């Protein structure tokens, strides 16, 4: 096996192509667990925030729930037993949680609110294995330059923001909106590589 590859494969409980790309980037061998419905429609991983829920608690709760649900799917589908990795990302702006936009109009409204302001991006990563769940959280600050309505509309029309927390993907066209970032670039993408690698090491999945 080439140096740097993971000795034990993991199950990735995520639909995100970005998380697949990031895991592959650090040499993690994985199999994807497909949820049969969107997390918005699956009661086991309901993404609705609890009343007054703190952003950090929210992403930790969702990451844990997705990892636990992934373990249940492994058992139910009789898949090969191996660690389950899950993650969740959310934005916090002026104390308010901002998740994925409901539609294009909602995406425009979110981007108008982010324009010229700083926000936090929190991503929690959870690994479930042998009856326990290990967790790590990335907390980054991102500031957008002022955006005009035309570029917001053009960006939303591209379709890129519709499945992303905060209605943007920093690795895509929205990279030109970001004038400042403090924290983890990969965490803003949806999977903080430093924290993920350390978590996998703690769970005995990485050398």
In a domain, 207, yes or no: no
**DSSP H or E stretch at residue 144:** strand 132-144
In a domain, 2, yes or no: no
88 is catalytic: yes
In a domain, 125, yes or no: yes
CATH code: domain of residue 190: 3.90.950.10
Neighbours of 31 (CB within 10 A): 12
pLDDT band for 46, please (50, 70, 90 cuts).
Answer: confident
Range of the domain at 176: 10-202
- What is the residue-averaged pLDDT of the chain? 89
In a domain, 131, yes or no: yes
In a domain, 1, yes or no: no
pLDDT band for 93, please (50, 70, 90 cuts).
Answer: very high
Q: How many domains does the chain have?
A: 1
pLDDT tens across 2-19, in order? Answer: 444 446 789 999 888 999
In a domain, 18, yes or no: yes
pLDDT tens across 106-135, in order? Answer: 999 999 999 999 999 999 999 998 889 999
Which pLDDT score, from 0 to 100, does residue 63 have?
Answer: 96
| DSSP track, 78-135 | TPPP--EEEEEEEEEETTEEE-S-SSHHHHHHHHHHHTT-EEEEEEEEEEEETTEEEE
In a domain, 4, yes or no: no
In a domain, 3, yes or no: no
φ/ψ region of 11 (left if φ > 0, alpha if ψ in -120 to 50, else beta) reads: beta
Which pLDDT score, from 0 to 100, does residue 41 have?
Answer: 52
Active-site residue identified among 88, 103, 105, 149:
88
pTM confidence score: 0.88
């Amino acid at each position: 096996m080439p140096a740097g590859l993971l000795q034990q494969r993991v199950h990735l409980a995520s639909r995100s192509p970005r998380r697949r790309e990031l895991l592959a980037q650090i040499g993690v061998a994985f199999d994807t667990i497909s949820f049969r419905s969107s997390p918005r429609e699956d009661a086991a991983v309901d993404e609705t925030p609890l009343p007054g829920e703190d952003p950090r608690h929210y992403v930790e709760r969702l990451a844990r729930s997705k990892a636990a649900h992934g373990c249940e799917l492994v058992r139910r589908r009789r898949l090969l037993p191996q660690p389950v990795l899950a993650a969740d990302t959310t934005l916090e702006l002026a104390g308010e949680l901002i998740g994925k936009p409901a539609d294009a109009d909602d995406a425009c409204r979110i981007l108008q609110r982010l324009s010229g302001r700083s926000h936090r991006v929190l991503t929690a990563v959870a690994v479930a294995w042998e009856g326990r769940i290990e967790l790590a959280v990335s907390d980054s600050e991102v500031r957008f330059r002022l955006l005009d309505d035309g570029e917001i509309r053009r960006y939303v029309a591209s379709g890129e923001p519709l499945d992303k927390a905060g209605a943007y993907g920093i690795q895509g066209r929205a990279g030109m909106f970001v004038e400042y970032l403090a924290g983890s670039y990969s965490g803003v993408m949806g999977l903080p590589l430093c924290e993920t690698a350390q978590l996998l090491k703690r769970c005995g999945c990485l050398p």
